[in-house]
Amino acid sequence: MAREFKDISPNASAGEKVTNWFENRFPTAFDAYKVHMSEYYAPKNFNFWYIFGALATLVLVIQIVTGIFLVMHYKPDAALAFGSVEYIMRDVPWGWLIRYMHSTGASAFFVVVYLHMFRGLIYGSYRKPRELVWLFGCAIFLCLMAEAFMGYLLPWGQMSYWGAQVIVNLFAAVPLVGPDLALLIRGDFVVGDATLNRFFAFHVIAVPLVLLGLVAAHLLALHDVGSNNPDGVEIKAPNAPRDANGHPLDGIPFHPYYTVHDIFMVSVFLMVFTAIVFFAPEFGGYFLEYNNFIPADPLKTPAHIAPVWYFTPFYSMLRAITSEMMYALIACVIGAAAFGVVKAKLPNIFKGAIVGAAVVVSAAMLSIDAKFWGVVVMGGAVVILFFLPWLDNSPVKSIRYRPDWHKYLYGIFVINFVVLAYLGVQPPSPIGERVSQVGTLFYFGFFLLMPWWSTVGESKPVPPRVTFVAH
């Protein structure tokens, strides 16, 4: 439907005339600017933790722009790939800078996304009405993992090659279809040129497209329901205080207030980012693994294959699932079923179903290789995040008003995650295995028992307004 054409005084300035010309022809852009920038009211009590969304967007842009330039010189061919990366590093003017920005950007992406997710976790940003924002975010995280995994194959070094080999082989552990599935992913019987080409296609086109779509959905959904804040107070609730124009008193226009915030923090972030790019691009072998400077050799398996640091918590959980560990998992299943039968108020038919399901699951756990369950656990560790909005029953959103012991629990959760990440970098060892098994049980216990523990204890009263101290 056409809008009414706005006329402007002939005495108006040239700038106003140009603006008017565009506004009459592309009003959507002007509306979007208002909805998402100048009249998007964000809570004014955002703290340090609220910067990582903007930083993730920045890193996404860095990855896309540097990626475009890398693709101009990179050759997705098993015989040429390694050499073309070295060509970028040596012969392309400033190629080394573009490549280091991209490789450091990959790690930076996970740093900011992990911190961004942690923010959501502690302030209850996933709770009603922001469940979809959280779900889109989890999907972004999943895409990011796929993007990073496939991108890591492209330099075609030893770690690229064997990392991909190990992970793709995991799919072969799926009962019945496994071997064919692994074959479908590789496009060959071993990781080879076909794998490199398809991973390249996914890495530069397919996954980024999905990623951008999801980021748009994440932001649009967020701006529909409004941002959460460290107090978990709804600033746009029907009974929330508003000024004469109907704007929330606890809110502040995103632009210019949060844009200047973001400019400042982006500058700080860039100092850290460029310090790594220019002074420690390998970051002690964590961002660029030493082994990856050896060209891929299908005949020479490295002694120790470890994924890049951002995958290691999940890799640890994969390695934790040994055939011995299966007995612990079966005990958990039986324990959960027994608890359900004894405690839950259900008709007997449902209780029978619970027992039946437990028996079937236990039998499957005994008969199918532990490697498959390792894959299930690794995938489950990511998938379980999607369910978070429905696992949390706490009467308050923010950690600030939860019982104090919740803070310690979240603290242990973080330590546990870091320990798992550390163990995933290390070569397997008996003690490391035991610790990672306990860590895996804790990780899943944290989420699966959340419906129960999140209701335990006395939460503190939530204030009617956000707590804001003028700067």
Please say whether the dihedral angle defined by the alpha carbons of residues 333, 337, 340 and 346, taken in this order, is positive or negative: positive
Footprint on residues 131-190 left by other proteins (CB under 8 A)? none
Bridge partners (DSSP) of residue 157 are 295
* Nearer to other proteins (CB atom), residue 274 or residue 362: 274
Does position 353 interact with other proteins (CB under 8 A)? The reply is no
256 upstream amide cis, omega within 30 of 0 = yes
CB of 335 to other proteins, least distance (A): 22
* Nearer to other proteins (CB atom), residue 145 or residue 441: 441
Helix (H, G, I), strand (E, B) or coil at 468: coil
Does position 270 interact with other proteins (CB under 8 A)? The reply is yes
Amino acid at 471: H
Using CB under 8 A, which of 256, 335, 395, 411 touches other proteins? 256
CB of 101 to other proteins, least distance (A): 11
Helix (H, G, I), strand (E, B) or coil at 252: strand
CA-closest candidate to residue 329, choices 377, 289, 381: 377
Using CB under 8 A, which of 281, 340, 379, 380 touches other proteins? 281
Does position 264 interact with other proteins (CB under 8 A)? The reply is yes
Footprint on residues 12-41 left by other proteins (CB under 8 A)? none
CB of 271 to other proteins, least distance (A): 5
CB of 341 to other proteins, least distance (A): 32
Footprint on residues 426-455 left by other proteins (CB under 8 A)? 426-427, 429, 431-432, 434-435
Does position 271 interact with other proteins (CB under 8 A)? The reply is yes
User: Residue 425, exposed/middle/buried by CB under 10 A (0-12, 13-18, 19+)?
Assistant: middle
CB of 267 to other proteins, least distance (A): 4
Binding segment toward other proteins, per CB under 8 A, in 114-122, 145-153, 264-272, 345-353: 264-272
DSSP string, 60-120: HHHHHHHHHHHHHH----TTTHHHHHHHHHHTSTTHHHHHHHHHHHHHHHHHHHHHHHHHH
Q: Are 2 and 24 within 8 A, CB to CB?
A: no
Instruction: For residue 83, give every residue at least 6 positions away whose Cβ sits within 8 Å of its Cβ, in sequence order, or none.
Output: 75
Axis-axis angle for helices 158-171, 178-186 (nearest 10): 150
Using CB under 8 A, which of 30, 49, 387, 422 touches other proteins? 422
CB of 25 to other proteins, least distance (A): 32
Binding segment toward other proteins, per CB under 8 A, in 109-117, 130-138, 256-264, 447-455: 256-264
Does position 277 interact with other proteins (CB under 8 A)? The reply is yes
| Degrees, nearest 5: CA angle 238-244-247 | 50
* Nearer to other proteins (CB atom), residue 101 or residue 133: 101
Using CB under 8 A, which of 64, 89, 115, 206 touches other proteins? 89
Footprint on residues 194-253 left by other proteins (CB under 8 A)? 252
| Degrees, nearest 5: CA angle 416-421-422 | 95
CA-closest candidate to residue 309, choices 171, 163, 432: 163
* Nearer to other proteins (CB atom), residue 284 or residue 461: 284
* Cα radius of gyration (the chain): 26
| Degrees, nearest 5: CA angle 435-439-444 | 155
Site string for other proteins, 285-314 (x = CB under 8 A): x----xxxxxx-------------------
Kindly state the tokens that stand for 413: 């959760």
* Nearer to other proteins (CB atom), residue 260 or residue 357: 260
Instruction: For residue 22, give every residue at least 6 positions away whose Cβ sits within 8 Å of its Cβ, in sequence order, or none.
Output: 29, 30
Q: Which residues bind other proteins (CB under 8 A)?
A: 44, 83, 86-87, 89-91, 96-97, 100, 252, 256-257, 260-261, 263-264, 266-268, 270-271, 274-275, 277-279, 281-282, 285, 290-295, 419, 422-423, 426-427, 429, 431-432, 434-435, 470-471
